[in-house]
């Protein structure tokens, strides 16, 4: 589909293909977006696009301005439905660019008709509201699987321990978490991340964990916690234990009949069109439930959706099935085994296609390298600091605000407070507050990720701040049992320039500074300062005289936010 528009576009909302892709607001320069987009003029007039289905094809919305110069331009919109894109690594970073969509090479029957995905287009003068309205429609049309159980809040193992995590580490941090937050019954999830399994494709415990993981889940439950686990069911480690050795034919194949290897992670990929692989996925879900886990983080699931966007053709067991169809089949089998009572957190997954399958989805890439591995490197080779990771997450979470509570719970990533003045990857107090504010304000999973037993009093003061916890942390006995929408109200006020690369760790100027949500029917505002000099804000009259969350100071007519910091307040009166 191609259409001309006379709208003088100044800003363009970009949605990345999957969890780890760049999402943000760009200038009027040419580019494209997956699943949805919005073209915004300086006066607020907006043309918005939203795919309402993602059953077979990836919908892409490309923008071609008539004039690349100046502040805005009219132009053309091109909308396509095709294969899932190739993800192209960017040198010097874990990030990647979303590449072109290649040929599908589908085998079609005689007189078979192929339909594109359903698309909604709308126009208006409130860009934020327009994007939210279309996102809500997409969520409704795709039967969004919104969680109604207790909030998922607690601790996870990856960002401190990485692959080295042991059962003892888990039990020790579980005990510390539950002791520290004994008065807050909903901060009790203990999630084991990557490092417990024998191999990718061999989802049974390695020598660091009990043979029966039910023993570990029972130990966590005895302490008072709720156990969670990490899996990457579509990732198969070549020539390793499990699927790779026993059933390599369950993987995507080359034309030569050997397992196809994905170039970014050098991994084999489970073929979710193979009936035996589907049964295996169901059994894996059922095993996790039998072990007693109440939450499952399901990672690297983009591997199930690969199409022929890569140089070497991909051969599926069922050649007429697209990557997204295979993706949905695999997820459906896994979820059927897990059941409705296990919270599913997707990660590394195409965003719109997982709606209706997962309760939550990561909206950015990894925040950092696990602390025990930081001598090896960081997500960006040059110039990495803890604040770089936080800024990248903030940009993605702001650009994907409309997905939260409409498609799933948005997961902006974990909270860490470890500090070290000699280590640029560490988090000073203001950066840690910023990370905690963003995670809590978004309202999805809230997971701490340090070695809780090793934190100092200063480091704990951020995540044990009672005013912060009272205001923003969800409770199963309040309005916050289910996700409350958040809004970066100035998300279209600034934009990343064309020279800012579209990979998730890029550092541009398109960062929303003022985010809002509600608690107890009162407005909550977070004023972020992403700059290098103090930010002066003038709070609305209803905030004057209230207490700022982090400093405890009274809000006046003027509020100064230090560089790299955030300040939060709640209005004095209820919203009408």
pLDDT tens-place string over residues 378-409: 999 999 999 999 999 999 999 999 999 999 99
What is the number of structural domains in the chain? 2
Element (H, E) at 24: strand 24-26
CA-to-CA distance for 214 and 191, rounded, in angstroms?
A: 14
Same structural domain for residues 48 and 118?
yes
Kindly state the percentage of the chain with pLDDT values over 90. Answer: 89
For residue 515, is it within any domain? no
pLDDT digits (tens, 9 = 90+) for 464-509: 999 999 888 876 655 544 557 899 999 999 999 999 999 999 999 9
Number of CB atoms found within 10 A of residue 107's CB = 10
Same structural domain for residues 91 and 175?
no
Contact 364, 21 (CB under 8 A): no
Same structural domain for residues 450 and 428?
yes
Among 141, 169, 192, give the residue marking a domain's end: 141
pLDDT digits (tens, 9 = 90+) for 419-459: 999 999 999 999 999 999 999 999 999 999 999 999 999 99
For residue 81, is it within any domain? yes
Same structural domain for residues 210 and 243?
yes
pLDDT value, residue 108 = 77
Contact 135, 122 (CB under 8 A): no
DSSP per position, 372-386: GGTTT--SBSSS--H
Among 141, 164, 183, give the residue marking a domain's end: 141
Residue among 156, 158, 229 at smallest CA distance from 188: 156
For residue 514, is it within any domain? no
CA-to-CA distance for 495 and 506, rounded, in angstroms?
A: 13
Same structural domain for residues 118 and 252?
no
For residue 423, how far is the Cα from the chain centroid? 26
pLDDT digits (tens, 9 = 90+) for 35-60: 999 999 999 999 999 999 999 999 99
For residue 538, is it within any domain? no
Average pLDDT over residues 93-103: 92
Same structural domain for residues 294 and 422?
yes
Same structural domain for residues 208 and 86?
no
Residue range(s) defining the domain that contains residue 173? 153-486
Mean per-residue pLDDT over the chain, rounded: 95
Tally helices (H) and strands (E) across the chain: 11, 30
pLDDT value, residue 576 = 61
For residue 277, is it within any domain? yes
Q: How many CA atoms lie within 13 A of 51 on its CB side?
A: 25
DSSP per position, 460-478: HHHHT-HHHHHHHS--TTS
Average pLDDT over residues 149-178: 97
For residue 108, is it within any domain? yes
Distance, first Cα to last Cα, the chain: 43
For residue 561, is it within any domain? no
Same structural domain for residues 220 and 308?
yes
Same structural domain for residues 302 and 389?
yes
For residue 201, is it within any domain? yes
pLDDT value, residue 210 = 98
CATH of the domain at 430: 3.20.20.70
Same structural domain for residues 161 and 136?
no
According to DSSP, residue 52 is labeled -
Element (H, E) at 457: helix 457-463
Same structural domain for residues 172 and 122?
no
Same structural domain for residues 320 and 453?
yes
Collapsed DSSP state (helix, strand, coil) of residue 80: strand
CA-to-CA distance for 436 and 78, rounded, in angstroms?
A: 39
Q: Radius of gyration of the chain from Cα atoms? A: 23
Q: What is the 3-state secondary structure (H, E, C) of 329-360?
A: HHHHHHHHHHCCCCEEEECCCECHHHCCCCCE
More confidently predicted of 430 and 519 = 430
**C-alpha distance from residue 72 to each of 22, 47, 481 (Å):** 22, 14, 43
Among 455, 486, 517, give the residue marking a domain's end: 486
């Amino acid at each position: 589909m191609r259409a001309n528009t006379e709208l003088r576009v100044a800003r363009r909302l970009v949605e990345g293909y999957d969890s780890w892709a760049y999402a943000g607001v760009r200038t009027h320069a040419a580019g494209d977006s997956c699943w949805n987009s919005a073209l915004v003029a300086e006066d607020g007039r907006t043309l918005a696009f939203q795919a309402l289905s993602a059953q077979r094809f990836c919908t892409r919305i490309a923008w071609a301005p008539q004039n690349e110069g100046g502040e805005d331009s009219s132009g053309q919109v091109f909308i396509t439905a095709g294969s899932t894109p190739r993800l192209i690594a960017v040198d010097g970073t874990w990030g990647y660019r979303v590449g072109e969509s290649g040929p599908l090479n589908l085998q079609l029957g005689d007189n078979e008709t192929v339909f594109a995905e359903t698309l909604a287009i709308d126009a208006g003068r409130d860009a934020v509201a327009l994007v939210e309205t279309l996102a809500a429609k997409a969520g409704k049309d795709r039967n969004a699987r919104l969680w109604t159980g207790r909030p998922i809040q607690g601790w996870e193992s990856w960002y401190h321990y990485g692959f080295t995590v042991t059962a003892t580490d888990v039990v020790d941090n579980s005990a510390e978490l539950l002791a520290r937050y004994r008065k807050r019954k909903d901060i009790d999830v203990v999630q084991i991340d990557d490092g417990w399994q024998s191999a990718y494709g061999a989802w049974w415990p390695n020598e660091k964990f009990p043979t029966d993981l039910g023993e570990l889940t029972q130990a966590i439950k005895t302490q008072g916690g709720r156990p969670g686990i990490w899996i990457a069911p579509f990732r198969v480690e070549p020539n390793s234990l499990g699927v790779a050795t026993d059933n390599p034919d369950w993987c995507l194949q080359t034309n030569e009949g050997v397992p196809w290897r994905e170039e970014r992670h050098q991994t084999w990929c489970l073929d979710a069109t193979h009936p035996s692989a589907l049964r295996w996925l169901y059994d894996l879900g059922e095993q996790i439930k039998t072990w007693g886990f109440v939450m499952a983080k399901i990672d690297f699931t983009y591997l199930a959706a690969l199409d022929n966007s890569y140089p070497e053709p991909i051969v599926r067991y069922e050649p007429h099935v697209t990557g997204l169809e295979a993706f949905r089949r695999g997820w459906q089998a896994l979820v059927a085994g897990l059941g409705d009572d296990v919270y599913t957190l997707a990660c590394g997954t195409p965003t719109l296609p997982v709606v209706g399958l997962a309760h939550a989805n990561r909206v950015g890439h990894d925040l950092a390298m696990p602390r025990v591995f930081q001598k090896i490197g960081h997500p960006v080779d040059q110039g990495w600091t803890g604040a770089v990771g936080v800024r990248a997450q903030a940009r993605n979470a702001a650009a994907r605000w409309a997905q939260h509570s409409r498609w799933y719970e948005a997961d902006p990533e974990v909270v860490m407070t470890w500090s070290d003045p000699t280590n640029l990857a560490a988090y000073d107090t203001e950066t840690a507050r910023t990370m905690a504010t963003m995670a809590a304000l978004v309202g999805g999973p809230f997971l701490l990720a340090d070695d809780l037993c090793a934190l100092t009093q200063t480091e704990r003061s951020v995540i044990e701040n009672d005013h912060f916890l009272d205001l923003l942390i969800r409770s199963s006995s309040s309005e916050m049992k289910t996700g409350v929408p958040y809004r970066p109200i100035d998300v279209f006020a600034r934009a990343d320039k064309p020279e800012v690369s579209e990979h998730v760790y890029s550092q541009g100027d398109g960062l929303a500074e003022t985010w809002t949500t509600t608690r107890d029917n009162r407005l909550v505002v977070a004023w972020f300062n992403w700059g290098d000099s103090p930010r002066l804000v003038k709070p609305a009259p209803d905030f004057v005289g209230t207490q700022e969350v982090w400093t405890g100071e009274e809000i006046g007519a003027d509020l100064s936010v230090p560089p790299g910091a955030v300040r939060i307040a709640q209005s004095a009166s209820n919203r009408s």
